[in-house]
Amino acid sequence: MKDQDLKSFLDEQVDRFNTDKFIPTDPISVVHKFSKKQDIEIIGFWVAMLAWGQRVTIINKANELIDMMDGSPYDFIKNHKEIDRKRFETFKHRTFNYTDTLYFLEFLQHYYKQENSLEKIFANGVTKTSETIQQGLINFHETFFSLPDAPHRTKKHVSTPKRKSTCKRLNMFLRWMVRKDKNGVDFGIWKSIKPSQLLMPLDVHVDKVARQFGLITRKQRDWQTVIELTDKMRAFDPKDPVKYDYALFGMSALKEASDFIKS
């Protein structure tokens, strides 16, 4: 398939899946309950970190988390007492357990007592001329685990390019925070990072569809694969490469890519 034909097809799929009809069945639906910037980024970050497994389960766990925060993530994070953390003892999702929850609460409270937004960490080291958000992801990981009692086990839940991870969930979170268009799925509340600097959220499903279309040639699925795929998408849309996440993820969910390629 010629690149121009593939671009046209993927653009059609972006229009198909980048719609408010996408919201109710996706974990982003939980984040759309909020309008305050800090509520959006706190619960958005936490939901993104929990986003593996069945989407219904992720949504249920996210709602459970919000209930434990008394329905107000930012207010709870800033003002809760240590004794209030006891209520999270039963909260877990797959391998994410009480130890991880306690550290998330500790870091977020420590951070928001000093700063107004998580945007500052991710934007640190990313200039207007930076090609990607890579350094922001590295800075975030280092800052997030900078507290003296950061548990080693929690590091598996927050990835970094330094470990050659695809950083799928962080890249998805950044898409939510940075992208903005008339369709209203992504929030676009962060302005110091450009959509052109974002990187594709790459999981096993998106990887499979991208390979079917010849968008990935690298054998591994790692950080360099993310760069390869994003570079290809940037050739299709230099200002907004990660919009194609909608197309690839949508087709993977509906298992349609093979049918199109055969047609």
- Which parts of 20-124 fold into alpha helices (H)? 28-31, 37-49, 55-68, 73-79, 98-112, 119-123
- What is the mean predicted confidence (pLDDT) over 97-117? 98
Q: Does residue 263 have a pLDDT over 50?
A: no
pLDDT of residue 21: 92
User: Lowest-confidence range among 12-16, 164-168, 250-254?
Assistant: 250-254
Percent of the chain clearing pLDDT 70 (strictly above): 96
How many residues make up the chain in this entry? 263
pLDDT of residue 254: 75
For residue range 160-187, list pLDDT tens digits in order: 999 999 999 999 999 999 999 999 999 9
Cross-strand pairs, 96: 93
For residue range 31-65, list pLDDT tens digits in order: 999 999 999 999 999 999 999 889 999 999 999 99
CA dihedral defined by 52, 56, 57, 63, rounded to 10 degrees?
110
Cross-strand pairs, 93: 96
Residues 6+ apart with CB under 8 A from 158: 49, 140, 141, 144, 145, 170
pLDDT of residue 256: 59
Rounded-to-integer distance, Cα 124 and Cα 246, Å: 27
For residue range 185-242, list pLDDT tens digits in order: 999 999 999 999 999 999 999 999 999 999 999 999 999 999 999 999 999 999 999 9
Comparing C-alpha atoms, which of 128, 127, 126, 108 is closest to residue 118?
108
pLDDT of residue 125: 84
The whole model's pTM is what?
0.95
Residues 6+ apart with CB under 8 A from 18: 181, 183, 185, 243, 246
Q: Does residue 155 have a pLDDT over 90?
A: yes
Q: Does residue 99 have a pLDDT over 90?
A: yes
Instruction: Return the SS3 of 91.
Output: coil
Computed over every residue of the chain, the mean pLDDT equals 94
Instruction: Report CA-CA distances (Å) from 151 to 104, 139, 169, 220.
Output: 10, 18, 20, 29
pLDDT of residue 25: 92
